[in-house]
Amino acid sequence: MSALQLIGPFTQIITMSGHDIKGPISDHKLEIITAGGIVTDHGLISKIGKFESLAQNLKSENVDIHSIDEPSVLLPGFIDAHTHICFNGSRAQDYALRNAGSSYLEIAKKGGGIWDTVQKTRKASLTALSEGILERSSRMLKRGITTIEVKSGYGLTVDEELKMLNAILLANQKSPADLISTCLAAHIFPKDFEGNIQEYLEMIINEVFPIIKSENLSNRIDAFIEDGAFSQSVIAPYLQAAKNFNFDITIHADQFSVGGSHSAVTYQAVSADHLEVSGDTEIEMIAKSNVIATALPGASIGLGVGFTPARKILNAGGALAIASDWNPGSAPMGDLLTAAAIIGTFEKLTSAEVFAGITFRAAGALRLTDRGILEPGKIADLVVFPTNDYREILYHQGQLLPSQTWKRGIQLQLE
């Protein structure tokens, strides 16, 4: 088998090339290659263009041709830049209580919410957590998601946070998807910690950060800045310590109250995620910074609250990624494409803006420059949909499933 492959012809190839990381994108600016093909070599994209022309130019070379025999649209493999798929247990009771009128914060104060998942996750073994990640990531691969961010944050002790990060590492070694780990030890203040909130954060800084660095468990630190979690003032030394360790920072920001976005900009976070209650001041501040705004429509759907003001963020010149936030509490659906299509409808996002949010702009939220665009030199992560018009993909709101998913130039056989 040759390392050189020609795949096609595709009815349309949507390359996502040539767009800025920030600001609006009109659909007419999408680069669409009709009757196209793509050449991969050792897991990277080598050439892209008209299929017949590529085939003619490769006649004298040892190339494997993978024929696409039905009308198909090719896109870069999708990227989910915010998930919590390392967990144990269910929070169906929380979901029922919210639908019956209880708020997210009310449920949390009564022992539900994140703390409920913490207790269940602590009971799970490293192997069980890793297997759970593999099962969920396999489902995501079937939906064309080839890069997945995965957070800790349901351990909230030194040993349990490290267990979660090791479970993500173990799953990454077995999954065809690339799993990008994030330490979210500052998720909530654990109810069973014998000390105050500052002492808890200092423990994580002193006992978890060095191990994460020395064992290469993650290069990303997240914090939940919110009522019932961590205030801006309390979390400030923690974020500064993360910067001192040269971690990338991301923030759960402005979900129920504003403030987190200010910390994200102050500490030069890679992304500020949620932002459902961000106002004009926060939107302008984020748009003027290099912080990528990551919308989490799955949480809005799960909680029955408003969406991230995505249209305003883009119009202000901001960068917008879209992620699933798959978690057992507020976003149990875990379907990136469905969630992205729905926020596109409510926030009036163009198809180009939605696809940008789950490809190259999502890559930007993870500081990845080698994927999310179909062009020579990028990783050959590909998703193929059985249609002759790319607009059908969002039109069906997640019900049109990919016919093929390719990871680093290898077609995955997903049952």
Condensed to tens digits (0 to 9), the pLDDT of residues 91-104 reads 999 999 999 999 88
Same domain flag for 122 and 44? no
413: helix, strand or coil: coil
Same domain flag for 238 and 317? yes
What CATH number is attached to the domain comprising 278?
Answer: 3.20.20.140
Q: Where do the H-state alpha helices sit in 83-157?
A: 92-99, 104-109, 113-122, 126-142
Total domains in the fold of the chain: 2
Same domain flag for 38 and 94? no
Of 365, 382, 403, which closes a domain?
A: 365
Same domain flag for 360 and 380? no
Please tell me the predicted confidence (pLDDT) of residue 180.
Answer: 98
Burial class (CB in 10 A: 0-12, 13-18, 19+), 2: exposed
Residue 378, token pair as written in the block: 């990028």
Owning domain of residue 54 = 4-76+373-411
Q: With CA atoms as reference, report the closest residue to 277 among 227, 222, 238.
A: 227
Same domain flag for 11 and 91? no
Same domain flag for 201 and 266? yes
Phi-psi region of 289 (alpha: psi -120 to 50; beta: other; left: phi over 0): beta
327: helix, strand or coil: coil
Same domain flag for 257 and 109? yes
**Which of the 8 DSSP states describes residue 225?**
B
Distance in angstroms (rounded) separating the CA atoms of residues 26 and 346: 17
Distance in angstroms (rounded) separating the CA atoms of residues 231 and 66: 54
Condensed to tens digits (0 to 9), the pLDDT of residues 138-182 reads 999 999 999 999 999 999 999 999 999 999 999 999 999 999 999
Same domain flag for 328 and 343? yes
Please tell me the predicted confidence (pLDDT) of residue 415.
Answer: 67
Please tell me the predicted confidence (pLDDT) of residue 104.
Answer: 81
Same domain flag for 84 and 176? yes
Q: With CA atoms as reference, report the closest residue to 403 among 64, 39, 75.
A: 75
Please tell me the predicted confidence (pLDDT) of residue 399.
Answer: 97
Please tell me the predicted confidence (pLDDT) of residue 46.
Answer: 97
Global pTM value: 0.97
Measured at the CA of 360, the angle between CA 281 and CA 323, to 5 degrees, comes to 60
Question: Which stretches of the chain score pLDDT less than 50?
Answer: none
Q: With CA atoms as reference, report the closest residue to 406 among 59, 8, 2, 71.
A: 8
Same domain flag for 175 and 309? yes
Same domain flag for 245 and 316? yes
Please tell me the predicted confidence (pLDDT) of residue 103.
Answer: 87
Q: With CA atoms as reference, report the closest residue to 171 among 218, 137, 216, 220.
A: 137
Taking CA atoms, 252 is separated from 10, 75, 107, 148, in Å, by 39, 29, 19, 17
Residue 216, token pair as written in the block: 């290469």
Same domain flag for 393 and 358? no
**Which of the 8 DSSP states describes residue 77?**
P
Please tell me the predicted confidence (pLDDT) of residue 1.
Answer: 59
What CATH number is attached to the domain comprising 17?
Answer: 2.30.40.10
Q: 264 CB contacts (<8 Å, ≥6 apart)? A: 249, 250, 251, 253, 271, 272, 286, 289, 291
